Amino acid sequence: MAELSQDELEAIRSHPLKKGLNHFRTTFKTKYPKSESANLTEIVDRLISEAPDGGARDIILDLILALQSQPAARVIPSQIRTGPLSGDIATFYGRLSSNQEHSKYVAPLLKLVLNEAKDTDIWAAVLDLVVRTRPTPQPTTPPLSHPSFTSSFPQTPCSLNTGGFEDTS
């Protein structure tokens, strides 16, 4: 799990989750009522394996949105670019919802949230998630060079006569 900096710890202390994820937990327990009595790890693992299914993916996306909307997400700095963590979460949400990212990376975070882990553990897992799944930069190639203008004109040799008429009068 990510080692949190002093700035990150202060942001988390200043903006606790409190009941911020309770709506997500209630929604999860409504959709998966056996989660109260069954082994939570098994349920999460099964859910992750079913994630391409609309309902399973929706619950994972709900978690990502719930975390993005938390005040701490707007003040914890990103570890991969300039700006807050909420931007990284938004990028991950877009990649996950468009099937560019696999939901298996969410499992550790989902388990922490459902087990009501400490805020610091949850946010460390979020930071791990966005760092692990950040898009790889596409290699850039230099732009194509423009053809020279002279090559588009016919090139006819030009001869110059340097001699002239002499005035013989």
Q: What is the pLDDT confidence band of residue 160, given thresholds at 50, 70 and 90?
A: low
Greatest mean pLDDT among 54-63, 76-85, 134-143, 155-164 = 76-85
Give the residues across from 77 on adjacent strands.
84
More reliable by pLDDT, 68 or 158:
68
Give the pLDDT confidence of 36-75 residue by residue, as tens digits. Answer: 666 788 888 888 887 666 678 888 999 999 999 999 999 9
Binned at pLDDT 50, 70 and 90, residue 112 comes out as very high
Of these ranges, 28-32, 113-117, 159-163, the one predicted with the greatest mean pLDDT is 113-117
**pLDDT score for 86:** 96
Is the pLDDT score of 133 beyond 80?
yes
Q: Is the pLDDT of residue 123 over 70?
A: yes
pLDDT score at 14:
96
Query: 52 or 134: which carries more pLDDT confidence?
Result: 134
Q: Tell me, what's the pLDDT at 66?
A: 97
Q: SS3 for the chain, per residue?
A: CCCCCHHHHHHHHHCCCCCCCHHHHHHHHHHCHHHHCCCHHHHHHHHHHCCCCHHHHHHHHHHHHHHHCCHHHHHCECCCCCCEHHHHHHHHHHHHHCCCCCHHHHHHHHHHHHCCCCHHHHHHHHHHHHHHCCCCCCCCCCCCCCCCHHHHCCCCCCCCCCCCCCCCC
| Whole-number average pLDDT of the chain | 84
